[in-house]
């Protein structure tokens, strides 16, 4: 390790870019003391030179011309924080072709067009580092690639989107409707003006594509992930779930089944005693299950200026040390080509389910419902019907044992066609992270 | 990265040694596929050649002569799993002098005699890797040295000893006395026949010395840690704590204060809503607070054959990649000399406290107690006295606001001298992990 300065450029001077600049300006000596890596912020590039930012750059650092960075051979590491899947892709490719290693938090780009980027990196003998792309400052990518590398990973259950977890926490904790909670999240800075990418589950699926690719060692396509967001969640279902001992979380799940790798993002009822049920507000957590290590979990702030900057700067240091490149170039699906994963078809996925049916309050109704479920081999584990004040229509809540998704889809169609069932039946997955089977249960 | 085989020797064929051998024998191809590192188990050395083990070695692998490993130049990595601070030190030094990098789970040796070992490693240009020394398979050392490296760490709160957490969980969950829970832990394989190292808090302090050295970037001496175990904990205090909303955990704490670094291991009441209160049985967890990342936490099985082996093999791979050495050699207090930390004197440490006093049930008693506390500027935050069936002696429970340890020590002496106070007053720390102050509270 030499004492030479490592020159760094930041492309994209938004929230996270400001955080990275702040650490590089404030903590360079501290980082040198701990790592013997001497970083120097050489350029910050953004089309917008004028907007005020939460950090003040020394004169001459801010530019609007990427060409300066590309042409400066002394800049060895460039951070792409522009975001999105369009111009960011061109920027990353240009940087790699100019001989820079790239550090990025851009999960959308890596999930949707990663193969294009990695191809360029491979050809150029450069690396892409992306710890900041998943769960902000929580070093979960490092854990998968280094700490857990001796394991065959069997499953990964994650709360990976801060915005959704904040909204669901507000709904659960304060009894607020979805629309109210979303507005509060926007006001508090936890949701964008257009929250679609987050609340639709797409952002969670982006992160899952990256994490599952790393954990299962094969190419995972974003488009192969089945995605359901939180935008149609109703407060009434959260309340019934709580009454039955469950918390509502948006989970990103990747898990090996005997039918292949199951990849999905959906709202989930999780038993309130599970660790994932204890993750509140804008925090995120990922539980990873390995054959040797059993259940491990990683928790922290999944977004925000400084937490994400923490991961970006960790990656800059890891690239400067040479360690990031050594790992990138041998990682299947990233620095090396990988075969596609065998996937579990959506219909074959097995889960427990929560059903809410609005039914007419008259004899024989429960029999009809139970028959449809029974015919599909869907077994009822619990049910709940409160005495109704209305004599017209009452909600019936049913929790099932494990059932095939395909069977449940069929049952839902038939239930919706029953004359005694009003409105569309509501169906939510009920999820139990696996027992790791090592010794002693964690919930005893 | 070449395709050459990396030859590995295991010294110490006990429980963890068997787990490491199992992974190296079963998962070599899988590891090669993921990492391009081809490992070969070349030797297993133990003085005992005859006892049955949970893994069957190929013929010719088991030896009782370390000399064979030392003399084989092709063995580049040796794993010391003998344990203890005596012969293990000699073995590690011999291995390093013979040009091997050393991987170990031996927290006692590194905490008590690490400087001797690191000195030899530095002279020989070799490295020592020790992810397995703290929290079994949970990659918390990797997190500190890589993922969180851009942060100034302000505090670390950990449940780092599985045995103690198992015993306290049994006491709390099942209402069993300490002696009964200990016996059950021994029967279940979670405690040794002689449990002293665990229940005295020494093992937690060993791990804290290593983790705090890494997190705070200076030399931390085991002997500087104030240590209190769980062996005098009474069930009645756990029950009163639960009644007041607290769970009892053995915490290892390192935290920057304005008086220096405070290092301590002691039983602690933690608010039941805190993440650390949700860690049950033989699981462990470490919460780390950084200035950029805020609160992060790492959870998993803190001991056991396969979880610990998971971390050992991760280290073997990291050493084989060359990454472990690059990090070791720049880490202050390990591969590089470091200045000692400025320490917060024990008396200056500030905490909340739980007190249980057995007092005579007569007028004026509470006044006397309150006066002693008040005189020492110790403020009462809550108290609890149940109506007593005995008319002789009743327990009074007091929770305090934050107070200096020195003031509390003095108050305890004075309380013990009161004629109306029977038995020795019981005092337990009440601990709140810090708020990270970033944005939005995690317990809202």
Core vs surface per residue A12-45: b (16+ CB within 10 A) or e: bbbbbbbbbbbbbeebbebbeebbbbbbebbbbb
Between A143, A330, A438, which is nearest B142 by CB?
Answer: A143
Chain A residue numbers touching B281 (CB-CB < 8 A):
440-442, 444
Fold topology of B350-431: Alpha-Beta Plaits (3.30.70)
Q: What is the pLDDT of residue A363?
A: 86
Q: What is the pLDDT of residue A328?
A: 97
B9 neighbors B79 (Cβ within 8 angstroms): yes
Q: What is the pLDDT of residue A321?
A: 94
Give pLDDT tens digits for B377-432: 999 999 999 887 776 789 999 999 999 999 999 999 999 999 999 999 999 999 99
Active site (catalytic) residues of B: 207
Q: What is the pLDDT of residue A147?
A: 97
* Residues linked to residue B428 through DSSP beta bridges, in sequence order: B354
Chain A contact present for B402, CB below 8 A = no
Q: Residue A1 burial (CB < 10 Å; 0-12/13-18/19+)?
A: middle
Q: What is the pLDDT of residue B288?
A: 98
Question: How many CB atoms lie under 10 A from the CB of residue B257?
Answer: 14
Give pLDDT tens digits for B202-216: 999 999 999 999 999
Which residues are CB-contacts of B170 (< 8 A; sequence separation ≥ 6)? B176, B180, B181, B184, B185
Q: What is the mean pLDDT of residues B261-279?
A: 97
A-facing residues of B in 362-391 (CB < 8 A) are none
Chain A contact present for B442, CB below 8 A = yes
Interface with B, mutate which of A292, A321, A443 (most B CBs under 10 A) = A292
Core vs surface per residue B126-138: b (16+ CB within 10 A) or e: bbbbbbbbbbbbb
Q: What is the pLDDT of residue A1?
A: 46
> Considering only CA atoms, which of B245, B249, B264 is closest in space to residue B155?
B264
Fold topology of B5-133: Rossmann fold (3.40.50)
Q: Is the model's pLDDT at B327 over the cut of 70?
A: yes
Q: State the pLDDT confidence band at B441, using cuts at 50, 70 and 90.
A: low
Q: Look at the block and give the residue holding tokens 């040295």.
A: B145
Domain edges within chain B: 5-133, 140-303, 350-431
B45 neighbors B66 (Cβ within 8 angstroms): yes
Give pLDDT tens digits for B230-242: 999 999 999 999 9
Q: Inspect the interface and report whether the beta carbons of A304 and B439 lie closer than 8 Å.
A: yes
Residue B297 C-alpha, separation from nearest chain A C-alpha, in angstroms: 5
Q: What is the pLDDT of residue B361?
A: 85
Q: Inspect the interface and report whether the beta carbons of B139 and A150 lie closer than 8 Å.
A: no
Q: Inspect the interface and report whether the beta carbons of A301 and B309 lie closer than 8 Å.
A: no
A-facing residues of B in 164-183 (CB < 8 A) are 166, 169, 173
- Measured at the CA of A204, the angle between CA A202 and CA A206, to 5 degrees, comes to 70
Q: What is the pLDDT of residue B341?
A: 87
| CATH architecture entry for B140-303 | 2-Layer Sandwich (3.30)
Which residues are CB-contacts of A321 (< 8 A; sequence separation ≥ 6)? A1, A35, A37, B323, B326, B327
Give pLDDT tens digits for B85-141: 999 999 999 999 999 999 999 999 999 999 999 999 999 999 999 999 999 999 999
Residues of chain A with confidence (pLDDT) below 70: 1-3, 391, 440-441, 443-444
A-facing residues of B in 296-315 (CB < 8 A) are 296-301, 304, 306-307, 309-311, 313-314
Q: Look at the block and give the residue holding tokens 């490092």.
A: A142
Fold topology of A348-431: Alpha-Beta Plaits (3.30.70)
Chain A contact present for B146, CB below 8 A = yes
Q: Residue A91 burial (CB < 10 Å; 0-12/13-18/19+)?
A: buried
Is residue B178 within a helix (H) or strand (E), and if so which, with residue range? Answer: helix B178-187
Chain B contact present for A433, CB below 8 A = no
Q: Inspect the interface and report whether the beta carbons of B292 and A309 lie closer than 8 Å.
A: yes
- Rounded to whole angstroms, the Cα distance separating A302 from A160 reads 7
Q: What is the pLDDT of residue A444?
A: 45
Residue of A nearest to B217 (CA): A34
Determine the length of chain B: 444
Give pLDDT tens digits for A208-243: 999 999 999 888 999 999 999 999 999 999 999 999
Q: What is the pLDDT of residue B444?
A: 45
- Rounded to whole angstroms, the Cα distance separating B418 from B430 reads 24
Q: Inspect the interface and report whether the beta carbons of A306 and B292 lie closer than 8 Å.
A: yes
Q: What is the pLDDT of residue A252?
A: 98
Active site residue A207: yes
Q: What is the pLDDT of residue B438?
A: 82
Residue A79 C-alpha, separation from nearest chain B C-alpha, in angstroms: 15
- Please say whether the structural domain A140-302+337-346 has been given the CATH code 3.30.360.10: yes
If you ran DSSP here, which 8-state letter would residue A145 be given?
Answer: I
Q: Report helix, strand or coil for A79.
A: strand
Give pLDDT tens digits for A289-313: 999 999 999 999 999 999 999 999 9
Q: What is the pLDDT of residue B392?
A: 79
Q: Inspect the interface and report whether the beta carbons of B310 and A148 lie closer than 8 Å.
A: yes
Q: What is the pLDDT of residue B440?
A: 67
Which residues are CB-contacts of A72 (< 8 A; sequence separation ≥ 6)? A7, A9, A42, A43
ipTM associated with this complex: 0.96
Q: What is the mean pLDDT of residues B206-230?
A: 95
- HEC string of A263-292? EEEEEEEEECCCHHHHCCCCEEEEEEEECC
Radius of gyration of chain A (CA): 24
Mean pLDDT of chain B: 95
Chain B residue numbers touching A439 (CB-CB < 8 A):
188-189, 282, 304
Pairing of strands B75-80, B294-301: unpaired
A368 neighbors A418 (Cβ within 8 angstroms): yes
Chain B contact present for A295, CB below 8 A = yes
* Residues linked to residue B256 through DSSP beta bridges, in sequence order: B261
Chain A contact present for B294, CB below 8 A = yes
């Amino acid at each position: 390790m030499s004492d030479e300065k490592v020159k760094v450029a930041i492309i994209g001077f938004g929230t996270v870019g400001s955080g990275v600049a702040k650490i590089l300006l404030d903590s360079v000596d501290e980082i040198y003391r701990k790592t013997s890596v001497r970083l120097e912020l050489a350029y910050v590039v953004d089309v917008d030179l004028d907007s005020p930012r939460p950090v003040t750059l020394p004169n001459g650092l801010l530019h609007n011309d990427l060409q300066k960075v590309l042409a400066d051979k002394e800049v060895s590491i460039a951070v792409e924080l522009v975001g999105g899947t369009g111009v960011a892709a061109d920027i990353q490719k240009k940087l790699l072709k100019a001989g820079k290693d790239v550090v990025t938090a851009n999960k959308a780009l890596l999930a949707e067009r990663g193969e294009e980027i990695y191809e360029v990196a491979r050809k150029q003998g450069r690396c892409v580092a992306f710890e900041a792309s998943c769960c902000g400052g929580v070093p979960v990518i490092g854990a998968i690639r280094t700490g857990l590398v001796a394991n065959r990973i069997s499953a990964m259950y994650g709360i990976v989107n801060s915005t959704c977890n904040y909204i669901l926490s507000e709904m659960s904790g304060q009894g607020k409707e979805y629309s109210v909670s979303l507005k509060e999240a926007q006001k508090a800075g936890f949701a964008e003006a257009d929250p679609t990418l987050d609340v639709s589950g797409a952002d969670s699926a982006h992160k899952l594509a990256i994490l599952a690719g790393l954990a299962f060692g094969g190419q995972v396509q974003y488009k192969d992930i089945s995605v359901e967001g939180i935008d149609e969640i109703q407060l009434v279902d959260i309340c019934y779930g709580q009454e039955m001992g469950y918390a509502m979380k948006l989970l990103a799940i990747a898990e090996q089944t005997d039918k292949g790798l199951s990849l999905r993002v959906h709202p989930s009822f999780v038993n309130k005693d599970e660790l994932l049920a204890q993750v509140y507000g804008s925090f995120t957590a990922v539980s990873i299950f390995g054959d040797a290590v059993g259940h491990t979990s990683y928790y922290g702030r999944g977004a925000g200026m400084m937490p994400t900057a923490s991961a970006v700067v960790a990656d800059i240091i890891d690239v400067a040390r040479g360690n990031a490149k050594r790992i990138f170039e041998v990682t299947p699906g990233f620095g090396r080509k990988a075969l596609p994963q065998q996937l579990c078809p959506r219909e074959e996925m097995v889960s427990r389910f929560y059903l809410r049916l609005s039914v007419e309050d008259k004899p024989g109704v429960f029999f009809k419902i139970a028959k449809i479920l029974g015919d599909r081999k869907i077994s009822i584990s619990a049910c709940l019907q409160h005495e109704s004040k209305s004599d017209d229509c009452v909600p019936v809540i049913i929790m099932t044992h494990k059932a095939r998704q395909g069977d449940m889809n069929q049952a839902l169609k038939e239930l919706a066609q029953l004359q005694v069932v009003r409105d569309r039946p509501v169906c939510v997955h009920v999820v139990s992270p696996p027992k790791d089977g090592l010794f002693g249960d964690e919930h005893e």
